[in-house]
Structure formats: structure tokens, C-alpha cells
Amino acid sequence: MKLSGGVEAALHCCVVLTAATGPVPAARLAQLHGVSATYLAKQLQALSRADLVQSVQGKSGGYVLTRPPEDITVLDVVEAVEGTQSTFVCTEIRQRGPLASPPEACTAPCAIARTMAVADRAWRAALREVSIADLGRLVGGDYDTDVLGKVGDWLVSAEP
Amino acid sequence: MKLSGGVEAALHCCVVLTAATGPVPAARLAQLHGVSATYLAKQLQALSRADLVQSVQGKSGGYVLTRPPEDITVLDVVEAVEGTQSTFVCTEIRQRGPLASPPEACTAPCAIARTMAVADRAWRAALREVSIADLGRLVGGDYDTDVLGKVGDWLVSAEP
Ligand code: FES
Ligand code: FES
């Protein structure tokens, strides 16, 4: 089981957007992260569809977060990119074969599906506990210099 | 992010093996679950590689669990099928682009990767808490009749 690479890019985008003093063009975000514009456009579209970022039109237009980074969780971003469906999909294997459980005995999920769902919820709960603002603070604390400040300035500067 | 369908089949196999009174031929396990023999063979090979089941040779040969079901966790089975690598793969995106962090500043994982790793561990911890024996009890408790007993008898019976 592997998350798509888009999750890493989307989370990094959200964190750097917390440091930008204005809207950031998609091309600038792609350049900063050293990824192709089309690849990043896909992630930004996913974030936009989930209403986590929005595109501001105009000369100095670009992407901004739609709400304070305290109010965006890591789970919001992961689900924007990966979807909200559970990591475990039960195909009701118990209802197949010669000793199949009859449908009327299968109104509740099977014990195996329940166990997998508990673990899925634990994963999501851990991702829900951390906000994009938390990530910004953590990333900032990892370096001696004000990395995010520098990134923020660069993102909205005119030079290519 | 989605687990492969093999996880459901592998977990169901392990649970029904707890009820079998002897080795169960792979073909019998496939028949019980209404899945193709080649599909199930792949899952049984994964379980066997992880040393959770073993194949007993001979006339009444087949698969048995290698240890008491109390000592096999759901995580053991999930990792046998899906591997142990983390659900989140960090590609060190922070080391790319014009403001790349220098490698010497990146000896520890980035805050985003750390957060994703915490969630991955929470998921695995939840799966580690439940054993195959627990699942057997839970599955048994879901039905009025002794479903696993019936399945166990059928698995080692000679009739096709
Ligand atoms: S029937 Fe799907 S997990 Fe048991
Ligand atoms: S560099 Fe990979 S998650 Fe931050």
C-alpha cells in the first residue's frame, strides 16, 4: 500500500503557501519544488476541488489557502489527493463459495473488515491531529535559518 | 491509497485455517472462498514467504498455520501481502529546486515525512493489536451457528 507521490508535493505546497505574502502562481510553486508544471497542476486542482486552495485571478494572481493554516489538517490534504475511501475494500468474500454466508447474515461488516476499518481510522486520526500551521512551525524549527521566510519572499518575487 | 484485494483473501484464509483439524489443500481454500486457484496461490505464497503458513507434503497434505493463531497478528498478514515499506514515500522534494535544502541540512526526515510516519505507525499498531485468534473469536461471535466449526469440517472433508 503506497500513497501517491502527489501527497508529498501537495503538503509541501500548502506549507509554503503559509509563508507567502500574496497569491503564488502555479508555475512558481512547480519551480520551487523542482517538479513539472503539469504534475503540480494536478495536485493543485485536487486541493482546489477540496476547497483548500483557490486561484486568484489577475496580474499578480495565483494560489492562496482558502482558510487559516490552523484550520487545514494534514488529513484534509491527504484526502484531497487520495480520496476519502477506506484503505481496505471488503468484497464480501464471505458471501462466496459453497459455504457462503447468506446475505441476511451479512448486514454488518465482517470482523476482518471491522478490524481493518479501526486501523484506517487510527491512521486518519493521526493525520487529523496535525495542521498545516503545525507543519509550518515544525519545518521552521528544523533549520537554523528562517527557511520558510526566505521561501515566502522568493515565491512572490518577480524574478524568474 | 488502497490495499490489494489479496489482503482480504489472506486474512480469511488464516482465520479458516484456525478451524481446520488438519492441512488444507490450496484448491480447497480457493473453492471455499470462491476465488481462482492461481489468485489464491499468490496470497498463500506470500503468507508462506513470511513464515505464517507452511505447506505440508503428502496424500493429506496442504496448508497449516506455522504457529498458534494467538501469535499471528493481523499486521503480520497485511505485511506478508503488502510488504513492510511505509505507506508514505518521501522523495526529498525539499532538496530540489532553486531553494533546495542542502543535503547536510537533511540528515533527519522532514517534518512532513515525520508526520506521515507517525500515522503509518498508528495504522500498523492498530493492526498489531488484533491476532488471528481474536479474529476467529470475532467471526464466530457474529453468527448464531458455529460457522467456523462447519467450515473447518468442510475444509478437511474428502468430498469435492
Ligand atoms: S467479507 Fe470482506 S473482510 Fe470479511
Ligand atoms: S521532503 Fe519529503 S516529505 Fe518533506
Question: Could you say which residues from 36 to 95 on chain B have a Cβ atom under 8 Å away from some Cβ of chain A?
Answer: 74, 82, 85, 87-91, 93-94
> Residue B150 and residue B144: Cα distance in Å, rounded?
12
Structural domain includes residue B144? yes
What's the CA dihedral at B7, B127, B76, B80 to 10 degrees?
A: 30
Band of residue B143 on the pLDDT scale cut at 50, 70, 90: confident
The answer to whether B117 contacts chain A (CB < 8 Å) is: no
Structural domain includes residue B122? no
More confidently predicted of B11 and A148? B11
b or e along A82-95 (b: 16 or more beta carbons within 10 Å of the residue's beta carbon)? Answer: beeebbbebeebbe
* B65 CB neighbour count, 10 Å cutoff: 18
Structural domain includes residue B100? no
B85 close to B139: Cβ distance less than 8 angstroms: no
Of residues A133, A7, A13, A126, the one with CA closest to residue A71:
A133
Provide the CATH number for the domain around residue A135.
1.10.10.10
pLDDT 10s digits, A106-118: 999 999 999 999 9
Closest ligand to residue A14's CA:
2
> Residue A93 and residue B42: Cα distance in Å, rounded?
17
Structural domain includes residue A19? yes
Average pLDDT for B37-62: 95
Closest ligand to residue B108's CA:
2
Structural domain includes residue A74? yes
pLDDT 10s digits, A127-146: 999 999 999 999 888 887 78
- Report the domain count for chain A: 1
Domain that holds residue B52: 5-85+131-156
- Are the Cβ atoms of A33 and B93 closer than 8 angstroms? yes
Structural domain includes residue A104? no
pLDDT 10s digits, B53-70: 999 998 889 999 999 999
Structural domain includes residue A99? no
Q: Which residues fall within 8 angstroms of residue B101, CB to CB, at 6 or more apart?
A: A143, A147, B94, B95
> Residue B17 and residue B72: Cα distance in Å, rounded?
12
Structural domain includes residue A31? yes
pLDDT 10s digits, A4-55: 889 999 999 999 999 999 999 999 999 999 999 999 999 999 999 999 999 9
Question: Rounded to the nearest 5°, which phi and psi values hold at A79?
Answer: -70, -30
B74-82 helix and B111-128 helix, angle to the nearest 10 degrees: 130
pLDDT 10s digits, B100-114: 988 988 899 999 999
From the list B32, B87, B151, which residue is nearest A1 (CB)? B87
